[in-house]
Structure 1
Amino acid sequence: MDRTLYFVLLLIALCSVSECVQRQYHYINMLMNWTDAQRYCRENYTDLATVDSMNRMNELNSVNEGGDFLVWTGLQRKWQWSAGYPLLYLNWGPGQPVNWDGCAFMKNGRWEEGKCSDTYAFICYNTNLGLVFVSQLKNWRDAQSYCRQNHIDLVSVRNHSENQQVERVMNDSLISKAWIGLFRESWQWSDQSDSSFRHWNTGEPSNSGGDENCAATKQTNQGKWNDVPCYIPLPFVCHEDKLIVIRENLTWSEALRYCRQNHVDLVSVHSEEIQCRVMNVVKRASTVAVWLGLHNYCIMNMWLWVNGEMVCYHNWAPGNGTTENCNLEKRKGAVQSGGDQRWISLPETHKLNFICTN
């Protein structure tokens, strides 16, 4: 048999024996509030536990030694700005927020939480016009839609100076209350995963008492979840991903060397499951694309992973993944950090973030 044909057949056979990248859970028998537990997990593992399927839930429950006690997971409800800015500045009024599942308005220069269905005037932000006061009475969602359709978004208040600007607009408009762009988002995972998997106990989340904004699991109830106040000290579960984004800008060859010296290797994506994990971690990158362990093997006119596997599963963007430019320049594979997060072919001299396997 021709040696080239034999090599190709061998690579195809290897497609069926790829090893999956797994997420490991670690039970931590220390009592901490949710924020301190998050910090501990990020310092020692990857993050507080994310659960994206019933199989993962069973894995977490198998390491959970809490028995009949509640144990923190990485699920929490958070306040955030409609425009996507991080919440770094706070200016709540006395006794606020009241911990409804609510939205924020400004009154007397301070923030208060109201029900999102309430109707108030509101303030939009426009790149050219600055702050735009709208006297129409709308609920928060309709106010957000109006601002996005006619301007940029509901106003974000990121510092004391911006707070004073909003207050001045309200005083000039002789209005006592106005919606701003702050709202309590639905449940989110600590690692920013977009997993929609939920495993709530019957009647949960209940938000009993108005301040149950973090999720905990109980081993003796099939791992079902309760919402509880985030300040309660509980044991917790961390997860350790086998993928890590390195936020250094290196060429493909430099990235490969870095991963092999400091971790295991550049990541090989040989299943949809691993692609999902890549899509989760690549959000942390600082470059528009991130190197994968994917290279163009010109002699065989094919793409291969650095671990020697043939590309059986693929997620190429249109127009990428061909070998027609093989003789023009050495090209390697990367994944887009935004958009559809598809694979693209780039010259290996480009300097990008990259993903190592742990």
Structure 2
Amino acid sequence: MKNRASVFPYLSVLAMKNRASVFPILIIVVMKNTASMFPVLIIIGLCSLISGLSPQYHFVIDQKNWTEAQKYCREKYSDLATIYDRDDIGSITEAVRSGFTGRAWIGLERGDLFKWHWSLADREFYSDREFDFRNWKQGEPNIDRNESECAAMYHTGEWFDDDCNNKKHFICIKGRRNDNKGFILLRQRKTWREAQTFCRQNHEDLVSVRNQSENQEILNVLQSESAWIGLFSDPWKWSDHSNSSFRFWRSKQPNNFGGNQNCVAAVLDNSGEWNDFQCKRSRPFFCQGRMKSKTPLPTIESATHSDKTTNQASKHTPQKSTTEPRTTERETTQFEKYITTTGPIDKQTSVTTYKYTERSTTEESIIERSAGDYLILLQENKTWSEALHYCREHHVNLVSVTTAATQNWVARKAENASTAHVWLGLRFTCAFKFWFWVRSEPGCYQNWAHGHEPAGMEVCGHAGAVESGGEHHWVSLPETERLNFICYTCDRQGH
């Protein structure tokens, strides 16, 4: 490879995380055969190098109640702010450039369902199903559903739930990497929240227990009595349906004073810590996501990531018919080719709209009706990746919805689901920061639910699902959620 004129350059762009964006690694490797030199685009470990996408936060000084603030953020950006870690606390503080030091709404509100979470919220710390590992003593948890509860470990290694305000010894995790990971027992009696604060200030966090082996390691440290671990239950939920378990409450908060403090604000003059307040109070607030363009989708984007662009313009030949002709619009779409861990994908780069006259035929309607015969609903709860693997192993693929006709069939199938949402073959690529269908097909059809439009839901680790009821809109959900799913199949399905 001494002849520089005959060799493609080697390009490497380092992945970097800041509070506004993430830059992917792109490596172009030259492979040589006897005929010619071919550049190959390889994507290596992109998401594993990034602990998560920090949302882009915007501070709005206009005072609104929580519901009005939520509506404003969904119309102008993506949603009210979701907080994932302490870095995001710093980000929202930096977003305030007006000198404001009071209280501002974030996207956390009280829900009806109590759920268990780990204090260490970073999902990349947990392998598949480790976030849901439990080792309850028989009969536990016997939680009072009207109060938040916290988990502790007996000297036997089994867990129990208790009032978070009780004082116990506690166990911290020193660090999350193998070279500094370890567990330390603090023989100081603190409430669960006090213990969490101590661990975060002096170590990493209250300990997470990810598997049985780790449970035994922690038990060896505990030896006797009982101690708090990092598991807690609460009813709080995020406006954008994120599964972030990060909490940053002020001391003795939330207290639900008066019985109707159901919304959360960051107290900026107190390090951004949180209080619960009445939702009807008017305050400034934080939005997340990019400001929405006034130009409707689809947009025209320039090619930036691929050395080769292919034209996949859709073609239409009007069918002969005795019915009256109708004039409609058709689009030609240009795509870029990408290679990802789920296979090759196409990204739309330009759209041209033109009008043509067509005549509908009986043959066309028959083909449209029969498309639903090749879709199958699996009433099994799987993560998005598990659903994709299952469809590819037992059928063809997760379903792609690129036309209104396919959406209609998917909606019919989804109505029989046992979960509120059903996985589609739609995923956000954190490498190139766009949504794509795992089965590469041209089409510009969109059916996003309000507040879940692509411009505002660009979150690494999210995939697309369809509502099983209502209007059957698409939503963006964490891939770790366990849902029913719809596959393409080669076997015709009965109705």
**TM-score in same-fold range (> 0.5):** no
Q: TM-score, normalised by structure 1?
A: 0.43
Structure number with higher relative contact order (C-alpha < 8 Å, ≥ 6 residues apart): 1
TM-score with structure 2 length normalisation?
0.32
